[in-house]
Structure 1
Amino acid sequence: MRAMGGMFGFSSPKVVCGVVGVGSLGQHHARIYSTMSGVEFAGIFETSDARAAEICEKFKCKRFATIAELGEACDAVSVVVPTDKHAEVAIPLLEQKCHLLIEKPICASLEEAEQVLAAAQKNGCIVQVGHIEHFNPVMSFLEKEADRPAYITTERLAPYQTRGTEVGVVLDLMIHDIGIVLALVKSPIKKIDSVGINVLSKTEDIANARIEFENGCVANLSASRMSMKKNREIRVFQDNAYLSLDFMNQKGHLVKKSDLIAYGVKMKIGLAKPGDTSSVPVKEIPIEKGEPLALELADFVSSVKEAKQPKVGGALAKSALEVAITITEQIKNAKR
């Protein structure tokens, strides 16, 4: 039975969840919902008969004939369809009072994003956006240690695949790092300079953006979906530390200015010698690994049940989209 939705809490102990679209990513939403405590997994909407049968068999769930029928049965729904279909799917579900987790980016355009957020406000619904790296344990460490970044570099590489090419690499991949940088820097943007090229797609497959903030911080973001390997790394430089972290492998290292000073003192008194790298204070970061999507969905369900704002809500998602669109427009204009 569907719980009492809206922003007023729930009479039922379980949040009824569903998924629209169970492709390469949506299948994992279904997998996690099907095993979550506090969740009743109602089922899926999927246009492919073969895929729907496979997922329903694997996770013992129901296939709904229409998105509206799924929305009627659910308190909360993951929207995991191509970006250019987000608004088309999300707005009717919001009109049905469904809370939504929409995979990133929130929409393909700012106009559509505003329509989705207006529908959410009108109907008292939560919209969380799937900027999944914000739930990566690496991000938790960054939020504690990167308190005054002066220079940031990010690199996000992936092999080419046709999925996601309805948008360019900026909206497909770089937007993850845009959201991360905006959350860390917390300053208005002063200037953006971008370059990009398309190789196999109609839109850019490789892109670089230099973002200068009002507080003086500079971020240099690179993304490619033409790589032979996957890579998701960030480096943060600030006046008291250097951090290098790997989002994919959930590891990294840290060098603190205070430790370097102590090392210098050791050298002066003969406890360390020049060239003795074993004493250089590079600390491996003790990151407790976890599945970011499972953490993200747990936060979403908690936000719905407790009627609280999610960690990655519409405001951050819209800001990241605005920056991403500015970058893509600069790339298009340069080609013209």
Structure 2
Amino acid sequence: MLFSSSKRIRCGVAGVGSLGQHHARVYAELPDADLVGVYETSDARAAEICLKYGCRRFATLEELGSACDAVSVVVPTDRHAEVALPLLAQGTHLLIEKPLCASLDEAQRVLAAAQAHGCVVQVGHIEHFNPVMAFLEKQVRAPQYITAERLAPYQPRGTEVGVVLDLMIHDIGIVLALVKSPVRRIDSVGVTVLSKKEDIANARIEFESGCVANLSASRLSTKRQREIRLFQPDAYLSLDFMNQEGHLLKKSDLLAYGAKMKLGLVKTGDLSAIPVKSIPIEKGEPLALELAHFVKSVRLAQEPKVGAALGTRALEVAITITEQIQNARSAA
């Protein structure tokens, strides 16, 4: 269904907790969207959000779906399918926070429902809308080796799943989008410390193209960090998703530097002369960019940048990593 260019898309949010409240805020700010209302089990939080943004609280998901063209599903991962399916049955377009679902079976049921009812489903892999990712998409052509590290302090929210589905899945989605090659092999390790699931994990992913990605994630850190380093034949890139900055070292510049060293124009060991360039990244709020893209996809009835296909591939890799960690723990 195509919407008129003058019609504002009626939006809602299912779950306005620590992340969902920001979905509500952005919808209220988008020029071509109207925040109609929310579905929330907490009376206090529902009242707070409705008062703040002048929207309505709906008693049921069905009422929310009937009043909205599009809804963000921002509930715990193990409830994604439970919330998404009745909304899809009403023809409501959805942005489902990452990961798509807690299992591949649930993901397939959501995808089947979306196709049956002609609904747009976008998966909330927010880093794909980070300006850092926009730079990577323009620069990355033939990646050979990638390292990514994602650290966060411990908090009870999100521990219904392990750190792989909670944090690492961001980098899994990024790597899959950049490498564009089938996965050949995955080797994983993980440690459980405070929760019932893995809290620290590392995965080595080999692709058919020959690229290798080494991903690390921890939710027991004293600091936050979201960094990626990428090597390809013509360049080395180091980028920070959190601070939206980075550095680029091109092979051509490095060869020129080596030539200057041979001519004595640069002192051996003078690291300050290495031609590392700062990357000019135009900063922006990833969530605002993500939801604006979702609203546009709904209006034009087009496949979103991070659709169900990529969301499912990322989930499949994440579940493989999780199962390897669980199996190793069981065998110990």
Q: TM-score, normalised by structure 2?
A: 0.97
- In the other structure, the counterpart of 2:232 is 238
- In the other structure, the counterpart of 2:247 is 253
- In the other structure, the counterpart of 1:4 is none
- Alpha-carbon displacement from aligned partner over 1:60-111 (angstroms, at most 9, x marks no partner): 1111111111110000000000001000110110111110000000000000
Gaps of 5+ in 1: 1-6
1:92 aligns with 2:86: yes
For the 8 Å contact 2:2–2:299, the answer to whether it is kept is no
Q: CA deviation at 1:272?
A: 2.2
Question: Aligned partners of 1:189 and 1:209: how far apart in 2?
Answer: 13
1:65 aligns with 2:59: yes
- In the other structure, the counterpart of 1:43 is 37
Instruction: Give the residue type in structure 2 aligned to 1:251.
Output: E
Matched residue SS, 1:300: helix
- In the other structure, the counterpart of 2:213 is 219
1:309 aligns with 2:297: no
Task: From 144, 166, 174, give the equivalent of 1:180.
Answer: 174
- In the other structure, the counterpart of 1:271 is 265
- In the other structure, the counterpart of 1:3 is none
Aligned positions of 1:24-39 closer than 5 A: 24-39=18-33
- Alpha-carbon displacement from aligned partner over 1:219-274 (angstroms, at most 9, x marks no partner): 00000001111110100011111111110111110100011112122233343222
Question: Aligned partners of 2:5 and 2:230: how far apart in 1?
Answer: 45
- In the other structure, the counterpart of 2:98 is 104
Aligned positions of 1:123-162 closer than 5 A: 123-162=117-156
Matched residue SS, 1:34: helix
Question: Aligned partners of 1:35 and 1:214: how far apart in 2?
Answer: 43
Question: Aligned partners of 1:274 and 1:64: how far apart in 2?
Answer: 69
How many residues are treated as equivalent by the alignment?
330
Matched residue SS, 1:155: strand
Question: Aligned partners of 2:253 and 2:6: how far apart in 1?
Answer: 52
Q: CA deviation at 1:280?
A: 1.2
- In the other structure, the counterpart of 2:286 is 292
Question: Aligned partners of 2:115 and 2:42: how far apart in 1?
Answer: 32
Matched residue SS, 1:162: coil
Summarize the Cα distance change of 1:233–1:57 in structure 2 as closer, same or farther, 3 Å threshold: same
Matched residue SS, 2:144: strand
Matched residue SS, 1:120: helix
Instruction: Give the residue type in structure 1 aligned to 2:45.
Output: R
- Alpha-carbon displacement from aligned partner over 1:300-319 (angstroms, at most 9, x marks no partner): 00000111110000000000
- Alpha-carbon displacement from aligned partner over 1:148-203 (angstroms, at most 9, x marks no partner): 11000010000100000000000000000000000011111111000001101111
Question: Aligned partners of 1:12 and 1:144: how far apart in 2?
Answer: 32
Q: CA deviation at 1:12?
A: 5.5
Question: Aligned partners of 1:65 and 1:11: how far apart in 2?
Answer: 31
Task: From 89, 101, 110, give the equivalent of 1:116.
Answer: 110
Instruction: Give the residue type in structure 2 aligned to 1:179.
Output: G
Q: CA deviation at 1:23?
A: 0.3
Instruction: Give the residue type in structure 2 aligned to 1:262.
Output: A
Question: Aligned partners of 1:100 and 1:280: how far apart in 2?
Answer: 48
Q: CA deviation at 1:9?
A: 3.3
Matched residue SS, 1:149: coil
Task: From 13, 20, 24, give the equivalent of 1:19.
Answer: 13
- Alpha-carbon displacement from aligned partner over 1:121-158 (angstroms, at most 9, x marks no partner): 00000000000000000101111112111000010000
Task: From 254, 262, 266, give the equivalent of 2:256.
Answer: 262
- In the other structure, the counterpart of 1:171 is 165
- Alpha-carbon displacement from aligned partner over 1:204-231 (angstroms, at most 9, x marks no partner): 0010000011111100000000111111
Question: Aligned partners of 1:110 and 1:221: how far apart in 2?
Answer: 21
Gaps of 5+ in 2: none
